[in-house]
């Protein structure tokens, strides 16, 4: 009997795939894809299961990309590292640091696979930091005919293929830009009221290399996490930040949750990989019992977007654990949520109450879509029709690219059918 495909990390989605396979080589992946293409069935890459919707599902077999042997090839002259697609960021970050290099940014957790993260335009924070896919300079993938393909920055279709939402192929290796290793010091400040946040929004988000604001929407922002690159001129963690007090106890983003799983705070410098994520690799990130949604609004409409959501506070609070506000710099990847525009990510960590969350999302989407919000591809959103053509100028080019690399629609699933038609 085929192995059950199980659920996503959060447990709010049970994969309907007929089974799951664990190929240990690129050749094995190619033969699984060829079998599907010839037999008229479907397959889909599975990374570390951290999405909150059906994006990773298939009616055929899931292919566990984490089973591929790890790769770590550092080209110091080119300032590039190649890793296998299923590798988690946390699995090679320390090794990279030991060789004197770093990634410019990371997401809130190091537990996600590189190929899974770039497929959905996963991002961290920082006015000048682009999303993680923007660091990609090359991908190697098995296309829908079983051929192994390589696309490098500058090649035709590269900008479409990187944030590929799993539609073009199974990414077996990714080459990432690296920068000289650096240290980061993280300090948490508590309690900024809404007028202070809204009046000083740009000054707050530009105050550090990476800034995250956590809010329950009532009253203001309860925590501001400043992640300062210690190479920056200022080497202080001032006692107050726009009137907010420096936290005297280690904080978890979720109110009342023990902070052991969080990366070190109190302004103590540490390696980039041990400060840029909010959570340590050895612990469960966030809560686990949760659902997430996120909408990326154009940066210049950030304050307007927050103001549009504030009247929904009473509806959001009963199902909300916390909202995180982060900024992301523009890039040129066709399906990036920051395509050609700086963005503010308005993220919701919800309670694991699917019906309750789905009941409040239409109001949130009605408030944010008119401002040009793009939903995070890997988190829960509802109104697919509003996601696409007008928001992504290259959407039709992406469809053509998907048809070129997957002519038999082997990687199609319900999610892609809804989006691409």
| CB burial string 105-136: b at 16+ within 10 A, e below | bbbbbbbbbbbbbbbbbbbbbbbebbbbbbbb
Q: Does 51 bind ligand FAD (CB under 6 A)?
A: yes
Q: Which range in 43-51, 175-183, 297-305, 395-403 contacts ligand FAD by CB under 6 A?
A: 43-51
Binding mask 80-109 for ligand FAD (x = CB under 6 A): -----xx--------------------xxx
Q: Out of 13, 33, 54, 123, name the contact with ligand FAD by CB under 6 A.
A: 123
Q: Does 175 bind ligand FAD (CB under 6 A)?
A: no
Distance from C-alpha of 75 to C-alpha of 73, rounded to nearest angstrom: 6
Q: Which range in 29-37, 38-46, 73-81, 249-257 contacts ligand FAD by CB under 6 A?
A: 38-46
Q: Does 32 bind ligand FAD (CB under 6 A)?
A: no
CA angle at 251 for the pair 121 and 205, rounded to the nearest 5°: 50
User: Closest distance between ligand FAD and the C-beta of residue 221, in Å?
Assistant: 17
Distance from C-alpha of 380 to C-alpha of 413, rounded to nearest angstrom: 16
According to the 3-state scheme, what is the secondary structure of 61-81? EEEEHHHCCCCEEEECCCCEE
Q: Dihedral, CA atoms, 259, 295, 44, 399, nearest 10 degrees?
A: -160
Q: Does 56 bind ligand FAD (CB under 6 A)?
A: yes
Q: Does 49 bind ligand FAD (CB under 6 A)?
A: yes
Q: Does 17 bind ligand FAD (CB under 6 A)?
A: no
Q: Compare residues 187 and 321 and give the one whose CB is closer to ligand FAD.
A: 321
User: Closest distance between ligand FAD and the C-beta of residue 269, in Å?
Assistant: 22
Contacting ligand FAD within 356-385 (CB under 6 A): 376, 378
Q: Does 212 bind ligand FAD (CB under 6 A)?
A: no
User: Closest distance between ligand FAD and the C-beta of residue 74, in Å?
Assistant: 20
Shortest Cβ contact with ligand FAD: which residue? 116
Beta bridge partners of 418: none
Q: Does 275 bind ligand FAD (CB under 6 A)?
A: no
| Run of H or E including 221 | strand 220-229
Distance from C-alpha of 78 to C-alpha of 57, rounded to nearest angstrom: 36
Residue 334 tokens read as 């066709």
Q: Does 50 bind ligand FAD (CB under 6 A)?
A: yes
Q: Does 291 bind ligand FAD (CB under 6 A)?
A: no
User: Closest distance between ligand FAD and the C-beta of residue 81, in Å?
Assistant: 17
Residue 283 tokens read as 């612990």
Q: For 135, list phi and psi in degrees, rounded to 5.
A: -85, -5
Distance from C-alpha of 273 to C-alpha of 93, rounded to nearest angstrom: 6
Closest Cα to residue 127, out of 316, 300, 323, 386? 300
Q: Out of 113, 208, 210, 327, name the contact with ligand FAD by CB under 6 A.
A: 113
Q: Does 299 bind ligand FAD (CB under 6 A)?
A: no
Q: Out of 42, 44, 280, 386, name the contact with ligand FAD by CB under 6 A.
A: 44
DSSP string, 284-343: --S-SSEEEEEEEEEGGGHHHHHHHHGGGHHHHGGGEEEEEEEEEB-B--TT-TTBTS-E
Q: Out of 23, 60, 116, 146, name the contact with ligand FAD by CB under 6 A.
A: 116
DSSP string, 151-172: EETTSTTHHHHSS-TTSS-EEE
Q: Does 171 bind ligand FAD (CB under 6 A)?
A: yes
- Tell me how many residues contact ligand FAD (CB under 6 A): 36
Closest Cα to residue 8, out of 47, 43, 42, 45? 47
Q: Does 29 bind ligand FAD (CB under 6 A)?
A: no
Q: Which range in 23-31, 40-48, 261-269, 399-407 contacts ligand FAD by CB under 6 A?
A: 40-48
Binding site for ligand FAD (CB under 6 A): 9-10, 44-51, 55-56, 65, 85-86, 107-109, 112-113, 115-117, 119-120, 122-123, 165-166, 170-171, 285-286, 292, 376, 378
């Amino acid at each position: 009997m085929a192995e059950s495909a199980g659920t996503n990390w959060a447990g709010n989605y049970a994969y309907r795939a007929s089974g799951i396979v664990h190929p240990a080589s690129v050749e094995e992946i190619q033969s699984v894809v060829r079998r599907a293409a010839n037999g008229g069935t479907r397959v889909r890459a599975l990374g570390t299961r951290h999405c909150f919707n059906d994006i990773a599902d298939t009616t055929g077999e899931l292919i566990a990309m984490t089973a591929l042997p790890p790769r770590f090839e550092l080209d110091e002259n080119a300032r590039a590292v190649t890793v296998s697609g299923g590798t988690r960021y946390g699995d090679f970050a320390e090794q990279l640091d030991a060789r004197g290099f770093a990634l410019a940014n990371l997401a809130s957790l190091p537990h996600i696979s590189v190929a899974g993260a770039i497929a959905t335009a996963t991002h961290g924070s920082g006015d000048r930091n682009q999303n993680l896919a923007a660091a990609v300079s090359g991908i190697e993938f098995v296309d829908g005919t079983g051929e192994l393909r390589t696309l490098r920055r500058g090649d035709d279709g590269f900008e479409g293929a990187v944030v590929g939402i799993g539609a073009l192929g199974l990414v077996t290796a990714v080459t990432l830009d690296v920068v000289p290793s650096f240290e980061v010091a993280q300090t948490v400040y508590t309690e900024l009221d809404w007028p202070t946040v809204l009046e000083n929004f740009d000054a707050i988000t530009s105050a550090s290399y990476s800034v995250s604001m956590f809010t329950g929407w009532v009253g203001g922002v309860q925590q501001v996490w400043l992640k300062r690159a210690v190479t920056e001129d200022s080497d202080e963690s001032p006692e107050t930040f726009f009137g907010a007090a420096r936290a005297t106890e280690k904080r978890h983003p979720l109110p009342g949750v023990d902070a052991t799983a969080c990366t070190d705070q109190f302004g103590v410098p540490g390696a980039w990989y041990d400060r840029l994520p909010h959570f340590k690799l050895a612990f469960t990130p966030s809560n686990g019992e949760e659902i997430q949604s996120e909408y990326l609004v154009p940066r210049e409409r950030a304050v307007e977007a927050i103001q549009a959501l504030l009247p929904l506070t009473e509806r959001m609070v009963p199902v909300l654990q916390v909202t995180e506000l982060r900024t992301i710099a523009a890039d040129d990847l066709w399906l990036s949520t920051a395509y050609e525009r700086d963005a503010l990510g308005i993220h919701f960590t919800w309670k694991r109450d699917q019906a309750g969350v789905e009941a409040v999302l239409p109001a949130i989407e009605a408030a944010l879509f008119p401002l040009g919000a793009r939903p995070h591809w890997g988190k829960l959103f509802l109104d697919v029709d509003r996601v696409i053509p007008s928001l992504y100028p290259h959407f039709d080019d992406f469809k053509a690219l998907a048809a070129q690399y997957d002519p038999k629609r082997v990687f199609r699933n319900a999610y892609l059918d809804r989006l691409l038609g």
